[in-house]
Structure 1
Amino acid sequence: MELFTLVVSILLIAITFFLLRRRSSGNARLPPGSFGWPIIGESVEFLFGNSEKFVGDRMLKYSPEMFKTKILGEKTAVICGPAGNKFLFSNEEKLFSMFRPHSMQHLFRSNKPKPALNMPEVVRQPGFLKPEALMRYLAGMDLITQKQLHIHCDGKKIVEFYPLSKTITLTIACQFFLGINNPDRIARLVETFDDVTRGMASIMLNLPGTTFYRANKAAAALRKELIAVVEEKKEAMAEGAGPMHDILSHMIAASDPSGSCLPESEIADKMMGLLISGYGNVSTTITFVMKHLGLNPDIYERVRAEQLAIAVAKKEGVPLHWEDMAKMKYSWNVICETMRMVPFQGTFREVIEEFTYAGYTIPKGWKVYWTVSTTCMSPQYFKDPKRFNPSRYDEGEAPPPYTYMPFGKGLRMCPGNEYARIVMLTFVHNVVKNYRWEMVDPNEKVSGSMIPEPQKGLPVRLYHH
């Protein structure tokens, strides 16, 4: 009898605890906002409108700190402002873990269990993206940029710089990551990369004519091409080709704890993700640097003076050195200001532990969306935010903490930020040294918000120095 009483008591306590927990969770104060339409939520407005406006409008309507929505099939909390940025980056792997939209998981096949050898390990362990490793690639990046500008610009009066920036950026990425130096092979990959990039955050509707359908086809074609590259690289390594310092060679040589090499298809998927990371945002930033320099002749002249001072101090034909990068302070300010005014899509996190922020509770399993656009165009943090002003980054005038983070911060800071920096500075050095330009259409419209693109390809009227 006593045993029966004890069992019943335990069951009653367990049921009470469960009901109280459900009640507590059900009464949790969720942030204000709307989940939108059934199933699709607010994905259409988010993807096909302007993502920056999407966030800004809801900050005004609901809360400047946090609001709820449903995008890409997920209940999502959007954390806003510098305090929110600090909270997010201070709690990586405590309250949040990385999450990729389902469309991205599908395209990169990253919804499978993580292999023993993952991409961050491959990239970070040998230090491929650290300054000391990048030093030996700088001269090659400089020569590739010079050659591509010569091919596509010399003798031309009108040049579309958006497609050119993509070709240059992808050529450098393929050389650095894959060890490929075949411009023709690379050039035909540009459109394929673009389709995959556009599909990474899209509605998963695999019907002809949709963004996701084109991305799926492009990813399959790109994967096939990369598998061929992996096979060629393996053959070259087996035949004792000279030292190979690219990331692909290291990945082929690496093995998991069991001693097995990664399958070629898996290597191809990882390389596809890495290449796209080093391609899209870099080429877009370069394009808008060209636009802002074309619209601001005084800023162009200051950048040119800085770069010519570096050039005249070198013997003719000597490529850029690492020390030259430190002398490009104003040029880097121009790039930083471009990234502020043309922010890119944000990133997602998954809530791994229920938390409360700004008086609102976010349940475990929800997603969190972070974007730099909640602060970078705010007059509260940036004086005259719509004015292109590179001098705002000078010493003593730096933006307040957690208001300007184009590469993220903390544990999730983009590991390729130094790589991106030297690719962009190398481009600026060569383009202002050899050319000046004016915009063919100063009011050219920009389409897309997840990936801003000048609708006409940014045609410029080019003049040779």
Structure 2
Amino acid sequence: MIQILLTSVLLFIISYILWNVYRTRNRKSVKNNINLPPGSFGWPLIGETLAFLRANWDGVPERFIQERIDKHGSSLVFKTSLLGDRMAVLFGPAGNKFLFGNENKLVGVWWPYPVRKLFGKCLITIRGDEAKWMRKMLLSYLGPDAFVTHYAATMDVVTRRHIEVHWRGKEVVNVYQTVKLYAFELACCLFMSLEEPNHIAKLGSLFNIFLKGIIELPINFPGTRFYNSNKAAAAIRAELMTIIKARRVELEEGKVSSSQDLLSHLLTSSDENGRCLSEKEIANNILLLLFAGHDTSTVSITLLMKCLGEHPDVYNKVLAEQLQISDAKEAGELLKWEDIQKMKYSWNVISEVMRLNPPVTGAYREALVDIEYAGYTIPKGWKLHWSASSTHTDKDNFEDPAWFDPSRFDGSGPTPFTFVPFGGGPRMCLGKEFARLEVLAFLHNIVTNFKWDLLIPNEKIKYDPMPTPTKGLPIRIHPHQI
């Protein structure tokens, strides 16, 4: 079996190389006098991908960029090859500002093949007017106005129920595994009104497989992570299509309203010309949002609890702020949007957690034209990468960057374009407000109920592709004495 797999992989690599040689020969030749950024394309086919992935697995994604800054002597940009594509890496506030400010002008959204293949046609993989329309449609349900009306209370209900079932009465809890259940249950409830535990568990187990292939070499052979991820994505879509078709019937029969949840909203919305999203496009976008609601929030909450366990003084200040909010409410009264706005110190703490370990380490663009940047030319068609991790850990942007210090976000906060966990510009994360509300609702309920001890001090963090404690952050919890 191993021999067959190795032979298949070798044939794939040879075919891929020959295809790239053919593609390169048929491209218009690049003038020899183009002043490309310094750097190296690395090995044929794989480029510098292994070094890029190794830095993530070792828990220091910024290392890949810092090593090349030191090696090539450029403080703004270098060239490389990642996941089969020639790429220019722009780093620091200047690079972030350039890319965020030139969306749909000089650059357009782009993601490596595994992301495009696994997510299909959805908000993060399309450009231009279609992307603007799709973003507007989703934002009408995920923007701040929607949260003011009912999201805070719904999140509070789901959070309280989750804590009673999965935390109350327990002595030891694996935070990452348990919070994954919470985040996915919440996303299924709010986006699709899906609450049946077995159905949610089935989708959740598929997502755990799906996640592992997102940033991987696209080797689509049995046994590889990309192959397994692709199969899981197909299974998730099949489940979503069944849910979508059933909901369409319910809408036609008047059994549910168009405002019930995101799914109903997408099925009944259209642009000014009457165009609606296809069922496949709806499935792809819900897949995207379930991924965002499931995984990015999970790692943020997990690392938040890790930091609070490591810094008792910070925990005490967060607890004091949250008790002040709960003490002002009637017994059993749910959180409101106004309560969330009062959690200023708590949000500073969460922001510092995301600075040290951004849930998404960076993103990609494609050069729509030849770009002149920092004295170099980045040819049309090249890919561009910006890194939140390297920006957040640069001592030029944050004094003593390894130190956990929520006060960095007091007042006006960090210098523009130095803190970018949600990206920026027209492509800023659509779910920013959703994530903020979700994490704060969970934080409010967990700290007003429990204190905890970390069972593995200094547990290592790895990025695969998101920052996760290697053992899932086991803790011993202590209920507050009432």
Task: Tell me the CA shift for residue 345 of structure 1.
Answer: 2.5
Aligned match for 1:55, one of 47, 60, 65: 65
Q: Indicate conservation of the 8 Å contact 1:130/1:418, yes or no.
A: yes
1:425 corresponds in structure 2 to: 440
1:31 corresponds in structure 2 to: 37
Q: Please tell me the root mean square deviation across aligned C-alpha atoms, in Å.
A: 2.3
Task: Tell me the CA shift for residue 417 of structure 1.
Answer: 0.7
Q: Does 1:376 align with 2:388?
A: no
2:208 corresponds in structure 1 to: 194
1:12 corresponds in structure 2 to: none
CA distance in 2, matches of 1:101, 1:332: 32
Q: Indicate conservation of the 8 Å contact 1:116/1:257, yes or no.
A: no
* Length-normalised TM-score, structure 2: 0.87
Amino acid at match of 2:302: T
Q: Indicate conservation of the 8 Å contact 1:138/1:321, yes or no.
A: yes
Give ranges in structure 1 of 5+ residues lacking alignment.
1-21
Give ranges in structure 2 of 5+ residues lacking alignment.
1-27
CA distance in 2, matches of 1:254, 1:83: 38
Q: How does 1:304-319 map onto structure 2 within 5 Å? A: 304-319=319-334
2:252 corresponds in structure 1 to: 238
Q: How does 1:450-465 map onto structure 2 within 5 Å? A: 450-465=465-480
Task: Tell me the CA shift for residue 247 of structure 1.
Answer: 1.5
Paired residue secondary structure (1:279): helix
Paired residue secondary structure (2:212): helix
* Length-normalised TM-score, structure 1: 0.90
Q: What is the CA deviation profile of residues 273-309 of structure 1, one whole-angstrom value per residue up to 9, with x for unaligned ones?
A: 2221222211111100000001111100100000000
Amino acid at match of 1:241: K
Is 35-44 or 110-119 further displaced after alignment?
Answer: 110-119
Q: How does 1:66-215 map onto structure 2 within 5 Å? A: 66-110=77-121, 121-125=133-137, 127-135=140-148, 136-215=150-229
Task: Label 1:182 to 1:117 Cα distance change in 2 as closer, same or farther (>3 A).
Answer: farther
Amino acid at match of 2:449: N
CA distance in 1, matches of 2:276, 2:334: 37
2:457 corresponds in structure 1 to: 442
Task: Label 1:433 to 1:181 Cα distance change in 2 as closer, same or farther (>3 A).
Answer: same
CA distance in 1, matches of 2:292, 2:422: 12
CA distance in 2, matches of 1:359, 1:261: 45
Q: Indicate conservation of the 8 Å contact 1:105/1:111, yes or no.
A: no
CA distance in 1, matches of 2:229, 2:308: 33
CA distance in 1, matches of 2:197, 2:132: 28
CA distance in 1, matches of 2:188, 2:423: 24
2:302 corresponds in structure 1 to: 287
Paired residue secondary structure (1:348): strand
Aligned residue pairs, count:
443
1:321 corresponds in structure 2 to: 336
Task: Tell me the CA shift for residue 253 of structure 1.
Answer: 1.9
Task: Tell me the CA shift for residue 121 of structure 1.
Answer: 3.0
Paired residue secondary structure (2:377): strand
CA distance in 2, matches of 1:40, 1:411: 31
Paired residue secondary structure (1:374): helix
Task: Label 1:118 to 1:166 Cα distance change in 2 as closer, same or farther (>3 A).
Answer: farther
Task: Tell me the CA shift for residue 245 of structure 1.
Answer: 2.9
Task: Tell me the CA shift for residue 329 of structure 1.
Answer: 0.4
Paired residue secondary structure (2:140): coil
Paired residue secondary structure (1:100): coil
Paired residue secondary structure (1:25): coil
CA distance in 1, matches of 2:162, 2:129: 35
Task: Label 1:80 to 1:168 Cα distance change in 2 as closer, same or farther (>3 A).
Answer: same
Amino acid at match of 1:322: W
Task: Label 1:117 to 1:59 Cα distance change in 2 as closer, same or farther (>3 A).
Answer: closer
Aligned match for 2:46, one of 40, 50, 56: 40
Q: Max radius of gyration: which structure?
A: 1
CA distance in 2, matches of 1:24, 1:258: 42
Q: What is the CA deviation profile of residues 70-111 of structure 1, one whole-angstrom value per residue up to 9, with x for unaligned ones?
A: 001110000011112111212111110000211111112239
Task: Label 1:171 to 1:123 Cα distance change in 2 as closer, same or farther (>3 A).
Answer: farther
